[in-house]
Structure 1
Amino acid sequence: MKTGPASSRPTSSIIGLAVPIWIGQLAAIANPVVDTAMVSRYSVTDLGALAVAASVYISVYVALNGVMQSLAPTFGQLFGAGKFPEMGKEAKQGVWLAIFLSIIGSLLLSFPQPLFSIAKASPEMTEKATLYLRILAFSLPASLNFLVYNTLNNAMARPKMVMAIQVTGLLLKIPLNTLFIFGGWGIPAFGGPGCAIATFIIVWLELLIGWLILRYNPFYRILHLFGTGFAWPNWKSLKELLSLGIPVGLNYFIEVTSFTFMALFIARIGVNAVAGHQIVANFSGVLYMLPLSLASATSTLVAQSIGGRRLEIARKISFAGIRLSAILAIIVACAVWLGKDWIISLYTSNETVAANAAPLFLFLCSLLFFDAIQVTASYVLRAYKVVLAPTLLYVMTLWCIGLGCGYMFAFNFFPDYIPPRITGSSGFWFSNCVSLVILSVGMIIIMRKTEKKAEVQFQASLQKQDTAVK
């Protein structure tokens, strides 16, 4: 049985792969952070519009991103099995998948009024949020196609170039935001929608760079991406990707909309409440990149081990990934709690907005540990191509408990029984904490059962082979 570095040193292998993924993801998530920080200095109305519009965009993008993530375990297992030309074929189908999904997503972003009606935002906020989303509708094809390049590189344990492209995009974001938000050089001040114009320019540039690397870097010749003729959609392959990707996309959608609808409902409380929530939710996204990068690295190494039929090593890697994520989550939570006032000051100088954001940091620090466990376990399950059970668990916890109970707490359905400190925005955050505790326990149980089942099936297949030989 062949073993690689991940078998003898799983923790160091995860860290080595996760660090560039983490830096790249930080660069990607820093884009909306920069948007929030810069728009907050333009006007509170634009910040509120950005909060509502960003919530809608993230819901659409993350759901489609989740469907695209069906490529990750597919690429990983093929790479572990040494089937490189098959990876190239799947990558071409991934491009078609991105094209089809971008058509659906762009239509949803162009007509967001039904979702805006939930927030009951002012006409000015609605107008700015609509313009923001319609600009991003034209950037979605580039964003989804870049995911093909991203997942392909991560599956081959080569995330550094993806990291470099994403960092370059971040460096361009600040000057472009400054130009389009505040105006200059004959360009009018667009306010919040100016962020979308900057994003549009950056994502198409990133896609172009990714394509050039695949085309001219000799390393990728083993995939036979070019010179083999035009590849039409393979409906069988696309169906297989969708059968895996749609549940993953639902996972992403459920996870993000648990925050999206929080923002839309909190907008009913007032612009300062939703602005305070946006700051904490935005920073939560930054923190989430660490366990997400560890989960992605763990999933990649697990998928490679499964493809190479090294299931015992896959189990060791999954345990090491969860342990590492949990330890780092505790360290990060302590650091965030100690520096919460400084963090808020980075986002806003408005005392009212800051006062609305401060109480939410207690809940943010409380949920980090359980969030790290659940995301790593869910990514391990994706490496095994197990997606339906996690999706049902997400529905029951994040939607039914987190969002449903959170709504009752926030708007104080039972004033005699609900403490004042968990009403308003805090009600949603408290309920979300409870849901993540249950979710993390459920994910671990499903993961352990999946690993045992895979090992039993593998042993059974070996016995059949021995019988056939005899």
Structure 2
Amino acid sequence: MSELSIIARHALTVLAGQLAIMAFGVTDTIVAGRYSPAALAALSVGSAVFVSVYISLMGILQALLPLWSEQRGAGQLPAMGRSLRQSMYLCLGICVVGMTTLLSPDALLRWTDVPQALQADVRDYLAILAWALPPAVLFRVYSTLNQSLGRPQLVTWLQVAALVLKLPLSIWFTFGGAGLPALGVAGCAWATLLVNYTLLGLGLWLMRTQALYNPLQLWQRMERPDRAQLGHFLRLGLPAGLAILVEVTSFTLMALFVARQGNLAAASHQIAANLAAVCYMVPLSLAIATSARVSWWRGAGNELKARQLVLLGWRLAALMGLLLTALLLLSRHHLAAVYTSDAQVAALTASLLLWVAAYHAADSIQTFCIFVLRCYRITVAPLLTYCLLLWGGGLAGGYWLAYGGQGPWSGTPTPAPFWAMSAAALGITALAFSALLWRTLRAHSAQPAPIS
């Protein structure tokens, strides 16, 4: 089988699973939007906070993918099992930090001037999701392990099956029925909690029963914390996690700043953000598949093959980015109508999707680049680039245009300036990452890969 076929099959499998998980958010957005504009606005704020916490913490664990893929490429399968057991200590710390943040959001809500009318619903939503975080963290480890093994199918099947459970639960809990009162936006959170624990239970059962995992010797007695290995995890994972934190917060903090513009702006922004996140799943899946394969070849000592795959993946990311950009531009009015029956919300959403299309074109390239750069242990430079461009240019620039009385949006309560500046900042980021990746490939073309 050709490398293109291997990467395409892996990426499509991951994409199916990622889209199923993204459909959780799509489901909640549609359900909350049909329940009330206020519920959709509260979901916009609550999901922005949760996604910021969840994705940034998951970024630390995502750094395990190139490490485990290299170990597999070098034939060090029992070492993968020991590494996974050590990662449980990392998961414990992640859960403590994440749950503490989600259970205490008041300072963040005040700082971003979220309207008082929304804060109670947002706090209830986040308090429920705090208890959904531990199973989500552990299932992410299971997912990363399968990706490093080149076998994401089991994860995808579970994620698709979970969507079948999530959809009716969200509708039932939100609108009530069969003796259950309507819970509003909190119903979406309760549905997520139940689904996350179901996924974790099924993942553990598969790890105990499937022969695929036997060579890894996973079910051994837990070793004491290995400071050297945990330190290695953190040296790679913390900059990667912080970079994702900057990337995600530059995206999700928009929701908190837009919330002060009122329910119309917040609801429209939530739909636009949800569509941008769905599109993001395409380059994300390609990046995961390519980085797993690149790290496998690096572990096997073939830097030339790894370099060829990086260049192939970059071209695919650019092509898919352009195709999805065109699709967003051509179908923006229809997509808005799918999400909401409110004419004003639909009209504002359609106008925002013009900027979302530009945003995704750049996002596709930079997402691929930052994942592959982690295969070469490059994490600090992308972090600094994100801080400068995404926070400084995109988020701060959008805030300045929206609330500083500048530009064509002056005095108009619309999220458009945030999307416009973020798209521009992401475009520069994509160019910078592409240049860094090219320089990295030239530097490593004749060097053996380090095995961790």
Asked if Structure 1 and Structure 2 have the same fold, meaning a TM-score greater than 0.5 normalized by the shorter chain, the answer is yes
In the aligned structure 1, how far is the partner of 2:448 from the partner of 2:21? 39
Residue in 2 aligned with 1:435?
Answer: 425
Shift of 1:240: 1.0
Q: Please tell me whether the aligned partners of residues 251 and 391 of structure 1 are also in contact (alpha carbons under 8 angstroms).
A: yes
Q: 2:235 aligns with which of 226, 243, 256?
A: 243
Within 5 A, what are the aligned runs for 1:252-263? 252-263=244-255
In the aligned structure 1, how far is the partner of 2:182 from the partner of 2:224? 44
Residue in 2 aligned with 1:370?
Answer: 362
Shift of 1:456: 4.4
Gaps of 5+ in 2: none
Counterpart code for 1:441:
L
Q: 1:382 aligns with which of 353, 374, 384?
A: 374
Shift of 1:174: 1.0
Q: 1:301 aligns with which of 259, 271, 293?
A: 293
Shift of 1:341: 1.1
Identity of aligned residues (%): 37
In the aligned structure 2, how far is the partner of 1:392 from the partner of 1:82? 35
In the aligned structure 2, how far is the partner of 1:276 from the partner of 1:117? 22
Residue in 1 aligned with 2:163?
Answer: 170
Q: Please tell me whether the aligned partners of residues 10 and 320 of structure 1 are also in contact (alpha carbons under 8 angstroms).
A: no
Shift of 1:126: 0.7
- Say if 1:458 and 1:231 are closer, same or farther in 2 by CA, change over 3 A: closer
- Say if 1:422 and 1:247 are closer, same or farther in 2 by CA, change over 3 A: farther
Q: Please tell me whether the aligned partners of residues 307 and 445 of structure 2 are also in contact (alpha carbons under 8 angstroms).
A: no
Shift of 1:329: 1.4
Residue in 2 aligned with 1:98?
Answer: 91
1:195 aligns with 2:188: yes
Residue in 2 aligned with 1:289?
Answer: 281
Shift of 1:73: 1.0
Residue in 1 aligned with 2:47?
Answer: 54
2:445 partner SS: helix
1:359 partner SS: helix
Q: 1:408 aligns with which of 386, 393, 400?
A: 400
Within 5 A, what are the aligned runs for 1:448-463? 448-458=438-448
Q: Please tell me whether the aligned partners of residues 118 and 264 of structure 1 are also in contact (alpha carbons under 8 angstroms).
A: no
Residue in 2 aligned with 1:464?
Answer: none
- Say if 1:422 and 1:332 are closer, same or farther in 2 by CA, change over 3 A: farther
Shift of 1:458: 3.6
1:153 aligns with 2:140: no
Larger Rg: 1
Counterpart code for 2:424:
V
Q: What per-residue deviation string (whole Å, max 9, x for no partner) do you get for residues 221-279 of structure 1?
A: 100011x3233322221111111111111111111111121111111111110110110
1:114 aligns with 2:107: yes
Shift of 1:402: 0.5
- Say if 1:267 and 1:318 are closer, same or farther in 2 by CA, change over 3 A: same
Q: What per-residue deviation string (whole Å, max 9, x for no partner) do you get for residues 317-346 of structure 1?
A: 011111011111111111221111111111
Counterpart code for 1:92:
R
- Say if 1:191 and 1:384 are closer, same or farther in 2 by CA, change over 3 A: same
1:184 partner SS: coil
Q: 2:415 aligns with which of 414, 418, 425?
A: 425
Q: TM-score, normalised by structure 2?
A: 0.96
Counterpart code for 1:446:
L
Gaps of 5+ in 1: 462-470
More divergent stretch after superposition (418-427 vs 81-90) = 418-427
Residue in 1 aligned with 2:77?
Answer: 84
In the aligned structure 2, how far is the partner of 1:320 from the partner of 1:28? 27
In the aligned structure 2, how far is the partner of 1:101 from the partner of 1:312? 36
Within 5 A, what are the aligned runs for 1:259-278? 259-278=251-270
Q: Please tell me whether the aligned partners of residues 306 and 384 of structure 1 are also in contact (alpha carbons under 8 angstroms).
A: no
Within 5 A, what are the aligned runs for 1:127-146? 127-146=120-139
In the aligned structure 1, how far is the partner of 2:102 from the partner of 2:56? 13
Q: 1:361 aligns with which of 332, 353, 368?
A: 353
Residue in 2 aligned with 1:321?
Answer: 313
Residue in 2 aligned with 1:204?
Answer: 197
Q: What per-residue deviation string (whole Å, max 9, x for no partner) do you get for residues 258-310 of structure 1?
A: 11211111111111101101100011101110011001111111111111111
In the aligned structure 2, how far is the partner of 1:152 from the partner of 1:170? 22
Residue in 2 aligned with 1:70?
Answer: 63
Q: What per-residue deviation string (whole Å, max 9, x for no partner) do you get for residues 85-131 of structure 1?
A: 00001111122211221111001000101111134334341111101
Q: Please tell me whether the aligned partners of residues 132 and 193 of structure 2 are also in contact (alpha carbons under 8 angstroms).
A: yes
- Counting matched residue pairs gives 449
Q: Please tell me whether the aligned partners of residues 146 and 207 of structure 1 are also in contact (alpha carbons under 8 angstroms).
A: yes
Q: 2:210 aligns with which of 196, 214, 217?
A: 217
